[in-house]
Amino acid sequence: MAKKQFKAESKKLMDMMINSIYTHKEIFLRELISNASDAIDKLYFRSLTDDSVTLKREDYRIKISLDKENRTITIEDNGCGMTQNDLENNLGIIAKSGSLDFKTENKSDDMSIIGQFGVGFYSAFMVSDNVSVRSRPYGSDESYCWTSQGVDGYTIEPCIKEDYGTKIILHIKEDNDNEEYSQYLEQYTIMNLVKKYSDFIRYPIKMMWETNRLKEGSEDEYEKVLEERTLNSMIPLWKKDKKEITQEEYNSFYKNQYGDFSDSAKVIHTKVEGNATYTALMFIPKHTPFDFYSKNYEKGLQLYSSGVLIMDKCADLLPDYFSFVKGLVDSEDLSLNISREMLQHDRQLKLIATNIEKKIKNELLKFMKEDREGYEEFFKNFGTQLKFGMYEDYGIHKDNLSDLVLFTSSFEKKLVSLQEYIDRMPEGQNTIYYACGESVDKIDLLPQAEQVKEKGYEILYLTENVDEFAIQVLASYKDKTFTNISTESLDLDTEEEKKELEQINTDNKNMLEEMSKALGNSVSNVKFTNRLKSHPVCLVTEGVLSLEMEKVLNSMPNDSGAKAEIVMEINKDHPIAGKLKELYITDKVKLEKYTRILYAQARLIEGLTVDNPTELSNMICDLMI
Ligand code: ADP
């Protein structure tokens, strides 16, 4: 049988596995057991709706056998099995999900790669130099065997296999100076690994256990006795009393069940009795899952009915904005044979979902209070999701989420919640100020911020595209409205200042109109302002659309042609004001040039482009010579 080649990416990964210096090679067992358990789940699910699958729950099991002499470990399941094609597609090609652009050749990153790409099977090559997979799908009478010694490729050929399911035979590597592979042929090692990583696997993991016993009737003669033992307790963690569960147990359950390689950031374990009776065990990951922002990411909690898994990703249990939450719900109120369609309309499930949403929110609030650093880290990972949640569905969830969002503040550039912001608002301030821009540093330099800062008011720096949309949907927080510092009506002046400014604008009406004309349609108005302290000029907007929103909307694929109404404001106290007034009398052509240069400068400060950079550069040059 001709050898087939692995796809380039698989080969690369395989190579990494074989040469892995990762110290936890032992996880190979967990990976293979999880695959076996998944395969059984698949057949079990089928049995719920397919009468031709006549197995009972008790029939399912995973078997491990050790053969020291031949240096093999065999892991066998009676799950769904694989066809010839499956073997080819599942084990010959990895990372079907997309490009495997490995971050690095760097070996220390081995594990995050194994975890991220769900390539658990290949971990077998960390400890074996030959792996064969014999498989027969349930209901088929054809079996095939996939064999590989590593990067060179693999073969698939027909074989004889008595039962359906999959049998994986690992030939364990010889020991070397760095690694004692033989330990994996010891029954105690295997038992400990199962306990450590796979104790909650729902199906029994059985192994023939060898003991030495006194021979019957003899006082000093021993004989080897083999008896089948179930190595895992199968008691679901969430059924245990919370007080008896260690953090370590939660961690290992999370990593094992949800394929993460680091501990979770937070565990939420709750038992509820009443209108809806259920237990929920949920986790907030420490890192953003690699596919979180892709279409492949599926949200949902596992759904159990009295300890039996009935759905792997029940999307209805989680709102989109909490889609990062992993975990499960176990309820006695749900029937085992409920179909997906029926579940959607299930009143009980809806009730549970509502409770869970509240619970997650409260836990996140607690998280923010009790572990600020941890929460900020969480927010870096999933904050965007929460902000999208505020904006989505016309803002119907905004009140649920507004307590949870953080923004960078002009005070020390630290993150602040809206509650914290209003708690420390000085007397006289009655609106929440914000400014938008590409980065905190850039916003910090915005001329428009000067007056607000001088008054001692705090400004929220909005740097993400979604931010301003979310804020606008929110409209107010605890009766405080929001004000973009780059909008026209900042209203920070005293009555006297206002009057004075009005006077200046009236006195120079003709000049300002002339300047506005010079800018054509680009601006709707040119005015003097009090808003600026050291800077000569800035742009502000009238109406609902800000410059930042214009930028975001116009960068979308279906360019909406959105246009903000722009007002160019000139610092009334800046020497440029005097210069402009002078030019208005002495040199109108120059006034026009100055106006256009000022406008271009203001655009650049806002992070906008200039329509005609060559012309601008020539104009500046003219002034220089
Ligand atoms: P993952 O399990 O993350 O998808 P793996 O590399 O561990 O990645 O496995 C690849 C695929 O091979 C699985 O998705 C599954 O379809 C199939 N597979 C692996 N082990 C078994 C098994 N024991 N029985 C049936 N199918 C299996």
Who's near 12: CB < 8 A, 6+ residues apart?
100, 102
Q: How large is the average pLDDT for residues 380-389?
A: 94
Residue nearest to atom 3 of ligand 1 (CA): 118
Q: Are the C-beta atoms of residues 538 and 447 closer than 8 Å to each other?
A: yes
Where does the pLDDT of residue 451 fall: very low under 50, low under 70, confident under 90, or very high at 90 and above?
A: confident
Predicted pLDDT at 174: 96
pLDDT in tens, 258-295: 878 899 999 999 999 988 899 999 999 999 988 888 88
Pick the range with the lowest mean pLDDT from 17-26, 208-217, 489-498: 17-26
Q: Which helix (H) or strand (E) holds 390?
A: helix 372-391
Q: How large is the average pLDDT for residues 389-401?
A: 88
pLDDT surpasses 80 at 99? no
pTM of the model: 0.66
pLDDT surpasses 50 at 218? yes
Q: Are the C-beta atoms of residues 94 and 9 closer than 8 Å to each other?
A: yes
Angle between helices 509-518 and 575-586 (to 10 degrees): 90
Q: Which atom of ligand 1 is nearest to the CA of 80?
A: 25
DSSP codes joined into one string, 319-381 = -GGGTT-EEEEEETTS-TT--HHHHHT-HHHHHHHHHHHHHHHHHHHHHHHH-HHHHHHHHHH
Where does the pLDDT of residue 365 fall: very low under 50, low under 70, confident under 90, or very high at 90 and above?
A: very high
Q: Which atom of ligand 1 is nearest to the CA of 35?
A: 20
Which of 30, 35, 40, 256 maximizes ligand 1 atoms within 8 Å of its Cβ, making it the mutation to test the pocket? 35
Predicted pLDDT at 293: 82
First-to-final CA distance of the chain: 82
What distances in angstroms separate CA 362 from CA 316, 401, 470, one per listed residue? 19, 11, 21
pLDDT surpasses 50 at 578? yes
DSSP codes joined into one string, 410-438 = TTTT-EEEHHHHHHTPPTT--EEEEEE-S
Q: What is the 435 CA–ligand 1 centroid distance (Å)?
A: 50
Instruction: From 547, 398, 562, 396, select the one nearest 470 (Cα to Cα).
Output: 398
pLDDT in tens, 62-95: 999 999 999 999 999 999 999 999 999 888 765 4
Pick the range with the lowest mean pLDDT from 103-112, 213-222, 521-530, 596-605: 103-112
Predicted pLDDT at 97: 36
Ligand 1: does its nearest atom lie under 6 Å from the Cβ of 77?
A: yes
Strand partners, 145: 134, 157
Angle (nearest 5°) at CA 487 between 609 and 516: 60
Predicted pLDDT at 348: 87
Where does the pLDDT of residue 559 fall: very low under 50, low under 70, confident under 90, or very high at 90 and above?
A: low
pLDDT in tens, 101-159: 444 444 444 444 444 444 478 889 989 999 999 999 999 999 999 999 988 889 999 99
How much of the chain, in percent, has pLDDT values that exceed 90? 58
Pick the range with the lowest mean pLDDT from 113-122, 215-224, 548-557: 113-122
Pick the range with the lowest mean pLDDT from 100-114, 169-183, 256-270, 588-602: 100-114
Ligand 1: does its nearest atom lie under 6 Å from the Cβ of 36?
A: yes
Where does the pLDDT of residue 245 fall: very low under 50, low under 70, confident under 90, or very high at 90 and above?
A: very high
Mean pLDDT score of the chain: 88
Q: Are the C-beta atoms of residues 351 and 274 closer than 8 Å to each other?
A: no
Strand partners, 487: 541
Q: Which atom of ligand 1 is nearest to the CA of 36?
A: 23
What is d(CA 417, CA 504) in angstroms, rounded to the nearest whole number? 40
Predicted pLDDT at 553: 83
Predicted pLDDT at 62: 97
pLDDT surpasses 90 at 575? yes
Pick the range with the lowest mean pLDDT from 32-46, 270-284, 296-310: 296-310
Q: What is the 71 CA–ligand 1 centroid distance (Å)?
A: 24
Predicted pLDDT at 264: 96
pLDDT surpasses 80 at 593? yes
Q: How large is the average pLDDT for residues 351-361?
A: 95
Ligand 1: does its nearest atom lie under 6 Å from the Cβ of 389?
A: no
pLDDT surpasses 80 at 320? yes
Q: Strand, coil or helix: what is 288?
A: coil
